[in-house]
């Protein structure tokens, strides 16, 4: 298929920006053949980012600074059946455009990331890029581009308004009820942060932040930690000697071994999608449950999911005015609230009450408020 002649209807591309005047033109330019809706969610740029975006035909929405908040604002303004979340320093190749067009026309398809390629050639860059062919919490991130069906995005609660790791959290929730495909096309991303701070140091810092997140550290704390580490001089790094000579080779080898081990370990757990159906083929029922006509996996009820649902139901019964709220598990860690309450304050109280329960990662609040007579 020639992407130059294959516009994709119903596609909205959301690009978060903050002073990206040097990259936004290439990013938007790579989308030109798709004839899609392009929304730039700007977090307060002081350069020419928004002017360039508007000149290239993109709609610009303003949002609080922070990628999670910006992505959420962009999605709220988007009208497409499909969302593609794309970083401003990333652009689609012809193979990515072709794979994208195939994916959105495949029955049962609901979410994917692309394969990654860096704009500079290094052995470690090639290794990291190679790992993006496999979906897991350690290998799938926002710089690969996230393609997701609008209704699935809404079902899992959208992006958290976090300063970082919003991509990890979104994919983590989606992975519980749908297959995250790895599209065969490549996107190219900038290696600037690796070049500024050192390849090994940056990747180890990324790994430390992700590990602390999985251990329960709040995103705001992680953002402060990440910013403090970035402020440290390149030579000070994160406690690892500068990558030069034998010591540098040892650090590189240790980093590669660590990341490979983490990927292999996680692949043995429940964090990745393995044996994915090919794009263009019919979805299959998997060990975690059947797949419906829209490609969303209907998970079999697990003991942990039942426990969390019962705790949520008990918590709501103890709150005044919430006895009519019902709880449905959409998968491990994802709960749907539905029913009717008498006031918006009660609807918000139900949401807060359930989110306090350990094991709840996301709440889809479908509670309706009775109209006053």
Beta-carbon contacts of residue 148 (< 8 Å; ≥ 6 apart): 82, 83, 85, 110, 111, 112, 170, 174
CA distance 294 to 332: 20
Residue 39: pLDDT above 90?
yes
Question: Picking from 11-20, 75-84, 205-214, 281-290, which range would have the lowest pLDDT averaged per residue?
Answer: 281-290
Nearest of 145, 99, 101, 133 to residue 274 by alpha carbon: 133
Nearest of 321, 328, 324 to residue 346 by alpha carbon: 321
Residues 123 and 216 in one domain: no
Q: What is the mean pLDDT of residues 57-86?
A: 96
Domain assignment present for residue 298? The answer is: no
> Given this model, what pLDDT does residue 3 score?
41
Give the total number of structural domains in the chain: 3
Domain that holds residue 315: 303-369
Contact 84, 145 (CB under 8 A): yes
Instruction: Kindly report the backbone phi and psi dihedral angles of residue 267, in degrees, each rounded to the nearest multiple of 5, phi listed first.
Output: -65, -25
Question: Picking from 94-103, 128-137, 182-191, 265-274, which range would have the lowest pLDDT averaged per residue?
Answer: 265-274
Residues 120 and 57 in one domain: yes
Residue 145: pLDDT above 50?
yes
Domain assignment present for residue 272? The answer is: no
Residue 31: pLDDT above 90?
yes
> Given this model, what pLDDT does residue 47 score?
96
Residues 13 and 144 in one domain: yes
Cα-atom radius of gyration of the chain, to the nearest Å? Answer: 21
- What does the chain come to in residues? 373
pLDDT for 170-179, tens place per residue? 999 999 999 9
Q: Which helix (H) or strand (E) holds 12?
A: strand 11-17
Q: Which residues on neighbouring strands pair with residue 14, listed in sequence order? A: 39, 85
Domain end call among 138, 162, 192 = 192
Domain assignment present for residue 294? The answer is: no
Domain assignment present for residue 261? The answer is: yes
Nearest of 24, 4, 13, 182 to residue 97 by alpha carbon: 4
Domain assignment present for residue 214? The answer is: yes
Residue 176: CA count within 13 A, CB half-sphere: 22
Residue 338: pLDDT above 60?
yes
CATH number at residue 343: 3.30.70.1350
Q: Is the pTM of this model over 0.95?
A: no
> Given this model, what pLDDT does residue 316 score?
77
Q: Compute the C-alpha angle 6/8/13, nearest 5°.
A: 130
Residues 148 and 47 in one domain: yes
CA distance 297 to 301: 12
pLDDT for 271-329, tens place per residue? 455 444 445 444 444 434 444 444 444 444 444 667 778 778 777 776 777 777 888 88
Question: Picking from 7-21, 138-152, 173-187, 192-206, which range would have the lowest pLDDT averaged per residue?
Answer: 192-206
Regarding predicted confidence, which is higher, 289 or 343? 343
Residues 358 and 220 in one domain: no
Contact 160, 89 (CB under 8 A): no
Sheet containing strand 11-17, strands side by side: 59-62, 37-42, 11-17, 82-85, 146-149, 111-118, 181-189, 90-92
CA distance 289 to 193: 40
Domain end call among 267, 294, 324 = 267
> What percent of the chain stands above pLDDT 90?
39
> Given this model, what pLDDT does residue 150 score?
96
Helices within the chain (DSSP H only)? 24-29, 49-55, 67-77, 94-104, 123-131, 150-155, 166-177, 192-197, 199-214, 219-231, 245-267, 303-317, 344-355
**DSSP state, residue 150:** H
Contact 46, 23 (CB under 8 A): no
Q: For 239, left (φ over 0), alpha (ψ -120 to 50), or beta?
A: left
Q: What is the mean pLDDT of residues 325-343?
A: 83
Q: Compute the C-alpha angle 15/296/67, nearest 5°.
A: 20
Range with top average pLDDT, 145-154, 157-166, 222-231, 345-354: 145-154
Domain assignment present for residue 293? The answer is: no
Residue 345: pLDDT above 50?
yes
Regarding predicted confidence, which is higher, 324 or 180? 180
158 three-state secondary structure: coil
Regarding predicted confidence, which is higher, 77 or 193? 77
- pLDDT band for position 229 (cuts 50, 70, 90): confident
Measured torsion, CA atoms of residues 165, 170, 172, 177, in degrees rounded to the nearest 10? 180
Domain assignment present for residue 278? The answer is: no
Question: Picking from 92-106, 115-129, 199-213, 268-282, which range would have the lowest pLDDT averaged per residue?
Answer: 268-282
Domain assignment present for residue 103? The answer is: yes
Residue 14: pLDDT above 70?
yes
CA distance 181 to 171: 11
- pLDDT band for position 342 (cuts 50, 70, 90): confident
Q: How many CB atoms lie within 10 A of CB 326?
A: 14
- pLDDT band for position 83 (cuts 50, 70, 90): very high
pLDDT for 120-139, tens place per residue? 888 888 888 888 888 988 89
Contact 147, 103 (CB under 8 A): yes
Regarding predicted confidence, which is higher, 290 or 6? 6
> Given this model, what pLDDT does residue 368 score?
85
- pLDDT band for position 372 (cuts 50, 70, 90): low
Question: Picking from 33-42, 133-142, 331-340, which range would have the lowest pLDDT averaged per residue?
Answer: 331-340
Q: Is 108 exposed, middle or buried (0-12, 13-18, 19+ CB in 10 A)?
A: middle
């Amino acid at each position: 298929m020639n992407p130059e002649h294959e516009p994709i209807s119903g596609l909205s591309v959301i690009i978060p920006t903050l002073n990206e005047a040097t990259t936004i033109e290439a990013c938007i330019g790579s989308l030109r053949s798709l004839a899609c809706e392009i929304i730039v969610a700007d977090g307060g740029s002081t350069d020419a980012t928004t002017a360039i975006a508007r000149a290239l035909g993109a709609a610009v929405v303003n949002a609080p600074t922070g990628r999670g908040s910006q992505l959420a604002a962009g999605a709220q303004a988007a009208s497409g059946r499909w969302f593609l979340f794309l970083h401003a320093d990333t652009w689609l190749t012809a193979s990515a455009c072709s794979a994208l067009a195939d994916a959105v026309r495949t029955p049962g398809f609901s979410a994917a990331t692309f394969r990654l390629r860096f704009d500079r050639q290094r052995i470690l860059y090639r290794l990291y890029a190679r790992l993006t062919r496999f979906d897991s919490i350690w290998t799938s991130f926002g710089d690969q581009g996230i393609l997701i069906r609008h209704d699935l995005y809404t079902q899992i609660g959208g992006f958290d308004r976090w300063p970082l790791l919003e991509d990890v959290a979104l994919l983590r929730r989606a992975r519980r009820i749908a297959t995250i495909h790895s599209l065969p096309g490549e996107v190219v991303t900038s290696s600037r942060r690796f070049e500024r701070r050192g390849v090994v140091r940056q990747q180890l810092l990324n790994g430390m932040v992700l590990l602390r997140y999985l251990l329960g550290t709040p995103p705001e704390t992680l953002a402060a930690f990440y910013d403090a580490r970035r402020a440290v001089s390149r030579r000070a790094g994160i406690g690892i000697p500068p990558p030069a000579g034998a010591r540098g080779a040892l650090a590189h080898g240790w980093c590669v071994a660590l990341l490979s081990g983490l990927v292999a370990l996680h692949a043995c757990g429940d964090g990745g999608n393995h044996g994915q159906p090919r794009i263009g083929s019919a979805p299959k029922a998997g060990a975690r449950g059947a797949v419906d006509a829209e490609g969303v996996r209907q998970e079999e009820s697990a003991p942990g999911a039942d426990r969390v649902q019962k705790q949520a139901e008990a918590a709501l019964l103890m709150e005044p005015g919430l006895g009519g709220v019902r709880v449905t598990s959409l998968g491990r860690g994802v709960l749907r609230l539905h029913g009717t309450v008498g006031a918006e304050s009660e609807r918000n109280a139900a949401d807060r009450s359930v989110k306090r329960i350990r094991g709840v990662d996301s709440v889809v609040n479908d509670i309706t408020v009775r109209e006053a007579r």
